[in-house]
């Protein structure tokens, strides 16, 4: 469904993303993890058209979408959410979601009705008339999901939709993401909350300093020495292994 | 306030404006109302782009002036009928809006950069209209011939020698019709997908793009609509005064008048510009009288007053007079409800 080939982006002297290859198949939940500053959000920005890659290709359902504008990419069925939530603060939750629905629905009334359905699906019905600016952080994260879902996407790029939430809220979002996948939407997710990554993903890519260092099933990744070192520093994997053998 | 309650309120206001000449016969009052409605039209032009779209222009004189100049020059140089010239003036205003919008939005100029570029364009046209004497008559301005034939008053769109009704109220109803058209267009826009997308772009352009909105196209639509309404104010001005010069057309005062009314009345609301225009001009007239009484004539003091009000509104009531009245109304309704529930208990 999504093929990323040799994707690269430089910011001045920094190679933010270097020759990254990724594949996401229809119906999967694929996660992208990595330490802070690894370039995960940059990868999403490159795929969704917010940044133009210096090199490489993004292919979605067989057609090249490299360097297209975000709104065109959205209309083809790839929608992103933002790590730093970007609500339309002065609009109600209903109108926020309706903006997403307007990608495929022209009528205001129909778009608002669609917004109510989506809000129902995501457990936001009581918030419908609240201004988005008044929502809690958990509410705003949910709104990001709801608005994106309203565009009727084929592939959702979710950028840390669980950051800053407590354990209960994380579990709720995990369920929501599962439900969204069950409704036929493919999910590509950046996440730091490991508990969620392990529960959700079919496959995981690990990015460090702009390069992919590992990929595979989440439990295998979690015990991969290269990954542990990327997170905890050189020699950490050996020390952990050593600690285990001592015990 | 409920939707029906609001509609009723505005319908009353519009009816009052339509019936006004029945109640007010003094020419001075009609002039005052005409001027207020004129500013309310200018303000709505600005409000489409600034209030709904969040693109604050400092150079709406550009569209006003282009409409006014084309309306004057096409009659003066080529003998066009004012009713024909009008469409070219409207198209010209929209074209200039589209050109400025294309340059600014294509290259992603937002916020103060956009304000500066519009200001720069208005000033450029100000200078050009002064220096291209062969086209614009330069600083002398364009004076249209006065039609003294009552028979041709309507054909010439000049009411000075028309019958008693048209002479007294012709331009009042002209600007009222323009106002109703502009406000109906705004009301309609608010209820379409385009309006929702324009507001989304104002609130957060990146999020709007991520949700499939072509922000460039939406902003282009807004600036063209905005420029068109503003150009209409220019067409009215030319017909009313039969005179236009570079200072009136492209000077900063029209740009400022266009933005003060919606900011004070309520940004991004259909009736904000009208409320704002009534408020500042009512207050302006009142202030002029008072200042005249106390210190004799001091031109410019009312402008200082506008400045103070603008600062107060921006600081304490960013949603303008419409926002204040809705907040008060909600509080009153809340009080009534709690009182009722207490008496019920």
The residues of B whose Cβ lies within 8 A of any Cβ of A are 191-193, 196-197, 199-200, 203-204, 206-215
What CATH number is associated with residue B62?
Answer: 1.10.3470
CA distance B190 to chain A (A): 10
- Chain A: residues touching B (Cβ < 8 Å): 48, 50, 69-72, 74-75, 79-82, 86-91, 95, 98-100, 102-103, 106-108, 111, 147-148, 150-151
pLDDT at A246 over 60: no
CB contact under 8 A, A74 and B211: yes
What confidence tens digit (pLDDT) does each residue in B29-85 have?
888 889 999 999 999 999 999 999 999 999 999 999 999 999 999 999 898 999 999
Q: Which domain holds residue A226?
A: 2-85+153-246
Contact B214 A69 (CB under 8 A): yes
- Residue ranges for chain B with pLDDT beneath 70: 1-2, 296-299, 344-345
Q: Is residue A102 part of a domain?
A: no
The reported pLDDT for the residue numbered A247 is 43
Q: Mark yes or no for CB contact A99/B213 under 8 Å.
A: yes
How many domains are contained in chain B? Answer: 1
CATH number at residue A242: 3.40.50.300
Query: Given this model, what pLDDT does residue A121 score?
Result: 92
DSSP class of residue A92?
B
- CA distance to partner chain A, nearest, from residue B211 (Å): 5
Which pLDDT score is estimated for A79? 96
Give the pLDDT confidence of A195-208 residue by residue, as tens digits. Answer: 888 889 999 999 99
pLDDT at B2: 67
Distance from CA of B52 to the nearest CA of A (A): 12
Residue with tokens 């900063």: B252
Residue of A44, A47, A71 to mutate, interface with B, max B Cβ within 10 Å: A71
> What's residue B314's pLDDT?
81
Residue A164, pLDDT > 60, answer: yes
Which member of B192, B193, B203 has the closest CB to residue A88?
B203
Model confidence band, residue A245 (pLDDT cutoffs 50, 70, 90)? low
- Domain count for chain A: 1
- State how beta strands A186-190 and A211-216 pair: unpaired
Instruction: Read off the pLDDT of residues A225-240 as tens digits, 9 standing for 90 and up.
Output: 888 888 888 777 777 7
Within 8 A of B196 by CB-CB distance, chain A residues are: 95, 98-99, 102, 108, 111
Q: In what order do the strands lie in the sheet with A186-190?
A: A78-80, A155-159, A186-190, A29-33, A203-208, A211-216
Chain B contact set for A111 (CB, 8 A)? 193, 196
pTM, two decimals, is 0.89
Mean pLDDT value across residues A135-146: 93
Residues of B in contact with A107 (CB under 8 A): 193
Interface test with A, best of B52, B198, B211 (most A CBs within 10 A): B211
* pLDDT value for A153: 96
CA distance A33 to A206: 5
pLDDT digits (tens, 9 = 90+) for A12-69: 989 999 999 999 999 999 999 998 889 999 999 999 999 999 999 999 999 999 989 9
3-state secondary structure of A157: strand
Q: Which residues of B touch A88 (CB under 8 A)?
A: 199-200, 203-204, 207-208
Determine the Cα–Cα distance for residues B113 and B110; give it in Å rounded to an integer. 6
Contact A69 B209 (CB under 8 A): yes
Residue A130 phi/psi, 5-degree rounding, is: -80, 145
Residue among A70, A80, A99 minimizing CB distance to B200 = A99
Considering CB atoms only, which of B203, B214, B215 is closest to A89? B203
Q: How far apart are CA A229 and CA B10, in angstroms?
A: 68
Token pair of A88 as six digits: 């339309």
Contact B211/A98, CB-based, under 8 Å?
A: no
Mean pLDDT of A78-100: 94
**Residue in chain B lying closest to A81 (CA):** B210
- Minimal Cα–Cα distance from A15 to chain B, Å? 24
Contacts with A50 from chain B: Cβ below 8 Å = 206, 209-210
Strand duo B243-244 + B142-143: pairing? antiparallel
CB under 8 Å to B152, separation ≥6 — which residues? none
A43 in Cβ contact with A207 (< 8 Å): yes
- What is the spatial distance between Cα B308 and Cα A128, in angstroms, rounded to a whole number? 38
Domain span at B114: 3-344
Instruction: Quote the minimal CA–CA distance from B116 to chain A in Å.
Output: 26
Percent of residues, chain A, with pLDDT higher than 70: 98
Count of other CB atoms within 10 angstroms of residue B319: 18
pLDDT of residue A7: 95
Q: What are phi and psi of A46, to 5 degrees?
A: -70, -40
Rg (CA), chain A: 19
Decide if A107 is inside a domain.
no
DSSP H stretches of helix in chain B: 3-23, 27-47, 61-78, 82-106, 111-131, 133-136, 153-156, 164-190, 193-203, 205-210, 215-241, 246-250, 252-265, 272-295, 301-316, 320-344
């Amino acid at each position: 469904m999504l093929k990323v080939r040799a994707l690269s982006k430089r910011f001045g002297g920094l190679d933010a993303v270097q020759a990254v290859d990724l594949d996401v198949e229809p119906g999967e939940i694929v996660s992208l993890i990595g330490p802070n500053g690894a370039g995960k959000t940059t990868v999403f920005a490159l795929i969704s058209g917010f940044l133009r890659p210096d090199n490489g290709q993004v292919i979605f359902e067989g057609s090249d979408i490299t360097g297209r504008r975000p709104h065109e990419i959205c209309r083809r069925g790839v929608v992103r959410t933002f790590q730093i939530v970007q609500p339309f603060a002065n609009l109600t939750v209903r109108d926020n979601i309706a903006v997403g629905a307007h990608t495929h629905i022209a009528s205001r009334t129909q778009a608002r009705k669609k917004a109510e359905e989506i809000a129902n699906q995501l457990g936001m019905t009581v918030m419908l008339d609240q201004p988005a600016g008044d929502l809690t952080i958990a509410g705003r994260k949910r709104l990001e999901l709801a608005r994106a879902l309203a565009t009727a996407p084929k592939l959702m790029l979710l950028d840390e939709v669980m950051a800053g939430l407590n354990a209960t809220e994380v579990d709720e979002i995990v369920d929501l993401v599962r439900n969204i996948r069950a409704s036929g939407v493919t999910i590509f997710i950046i996440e730091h909350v490991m508990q969620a990554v392990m529960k959700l993903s079919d496959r995981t890519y690990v990015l460090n300093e702009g390069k992919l260092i590992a990929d595979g099933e989440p439990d295998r990744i979690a015990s991969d020495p290269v990954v542990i070192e990327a997170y905890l520093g050189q020699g950490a994997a050996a020390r952990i292994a050593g600690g285990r053998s001592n015990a | 306030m409920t939707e029906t309650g609001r509609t009723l309120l505005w319908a009353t206001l519009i009816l009052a404006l339509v019936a006004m000449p029945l109640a007010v016969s003094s020419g001075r009052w009609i002039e005052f109302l005409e001027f207020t409605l004129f500013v309310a039209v200018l303000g709505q032009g600005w409000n489409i782009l600034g209030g709904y779209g969040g693109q604050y222009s400092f150079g709406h004189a550009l569209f006003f002036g282009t409409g006014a100049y084309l309306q004057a020059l096409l009659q003066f140089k080529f003998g066009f009928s004012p009713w024909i010239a009008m469409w070219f003036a409207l198209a010209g205003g929209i074209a200039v809006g589209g050109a400025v919008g294309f340059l600014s939005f294509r290259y992603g100029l937002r916020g103060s950069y956009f304000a500066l570029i519009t200001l720069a364009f208005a000033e450029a046209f100000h200078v050009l209209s002064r220096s291209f004497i062969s086209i614009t008559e330069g600083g002398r301005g364009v004076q249209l011939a006065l039609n003294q034939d009552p028979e041709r008053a309507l054909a010439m769109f000049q009411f000075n020698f028309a019958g008693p009704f048209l002479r007294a109220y012709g331009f009042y109803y002209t600007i009222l019709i323009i106002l109703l058209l502009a406000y109906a267009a705004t009301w309609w826009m608010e209820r379409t997908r385009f309006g929702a997308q324009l507001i989304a772009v104002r609130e957060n352009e990146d999020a709007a793009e991520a949700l499939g909105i072509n922000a460039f196209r939406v902003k282009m639509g807004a600036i063209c609509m905005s420029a068109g309404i503003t150009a209409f104010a220019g067409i009215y001005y030319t017909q009313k005064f039969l005179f236009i010069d570079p200072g009136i057309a492209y000077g900063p005062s029209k740009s400022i008048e266009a933005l003060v009314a919606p900011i004070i009345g309520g940004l991004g609301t259909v009736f904000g510009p009208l409320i704002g225009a009534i408020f500042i001009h009512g207050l302006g007239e009142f202030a002029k009288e008072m200042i005249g009484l106390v210190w004799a004539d001091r031109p410019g003091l009312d402008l200082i007053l506008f400045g103070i009000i603008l600062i107060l509104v921006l600081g304490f009531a960013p949603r303008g007079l419409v926002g204040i009245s809705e907040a008060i109304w909600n509080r009153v309704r809340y009080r009534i409800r709690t009182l009722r529930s207490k008496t019920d208990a």
